Chains A and B, each alone.
Chain A
Amino acid sequence: NAGVMQNPRHLVRRRGQEARLRCSPMKGHSHVYWYRQLPEEGLKFMVYLQKENIIDESGMPKERFSAEFPKEGPSILRIQQVVRGDSAAYFCASSPSLQTQYFGPGTRLLVL
């Protein structure tokens, strides 16, 4: 049973470009969570999704950020018009229900 998959592992973007981060949950997991980690800090919750539904996006900036978890395919975290402050590690986690969250390897986003 493969773990949570995230791609790309590293992403470099110039200011103003778009960043798309993908997350494939573990098989059988219908709950997906996105977290952001700034250097030398713990993780901060961004958004929680179940299949085709955003349950809670209270941790996500109101502008430029969006997330989806379609019926088919991976969950996508999309950042439009990236700025330097978006540089961080973005982690996806999945769970089969409201239980232990299992994390992917993360995507390191660097905005030049």
Chain B
Amino acid sequence: AQTVTQSQPEMSVQEAETVTLSCTYDTSESDYYLFWYKQPPSRQMILVIRQEAYKQQNATENRFSVNFQKAAKSFSLKISDSQLGDAAMYFCAYRGPSMDSNYQLIWGAGTKLIIKP
């Protein structure tokens, strides 16, 4: 069964600095999807970034980028120039290949990110 592990329950970073959140996963599939979602105090679940496993290039969305290491099954999120609005819980999630049986998102336990002003 697929699993997603976030080993950092909490991280803190000074405003304007860079922080990396780690995520590892376990799967026997070769084609799958990985996601980072952000959950601010409002509790809304917001998609931050998505990575297709068949793509070698790391996904980037403005200040957010990932380091996808397929062989190591690692999918870390880097936040550059941290802002106060980045403070939230960050969840890493996995979804299997695009088949009818693979639609569940498998979630990590989350990392609480604190931004120090």
Contacts and interface: CB of A to CB of B under 8 A. Distances in A.
B1 to A, nearest CB: 12
Interface stretch (B62-70, B72-80, B98-106): B98-106
A41 B4 CA distance: 13
B45 A100 contact: no
Interface string B103-117: 111111110000000
A98 B102 contact: yes
B56 interface: no
Q: Is the interface of B mostly helix, strand, loop or mixed?
A: loop
A74 interface: no
Interface in A68-112: 89, 91, 93, 98-103, 105-106, 108
A42 B108 contact: yes
Interface residues of B, number: 25
B104 A105 contact: no
B104 A48 contact: yes
A89 B109 contact: no
A18 interface: no
B41 to A, nearest CB: 12
B43 A108 contact: yes
Contacts of B104: 33, 45, 48, 56, 59
A89 B43 contact: yes
B106 to A, nearest CB: 8
A59 B108 CA distance: 17
A33 B103 contact: yes
12 contacts: A42-B91, A42-B107, A45-B106, A56-B103, A93-B45, A98-B98, A98-B102, A100-B33, A101-B105, A103-B37, A106-B43, A108-B43
Interface of B: 4, 33, 35, 37, 42-47, 50, 91, 93, 98-100, 102-110
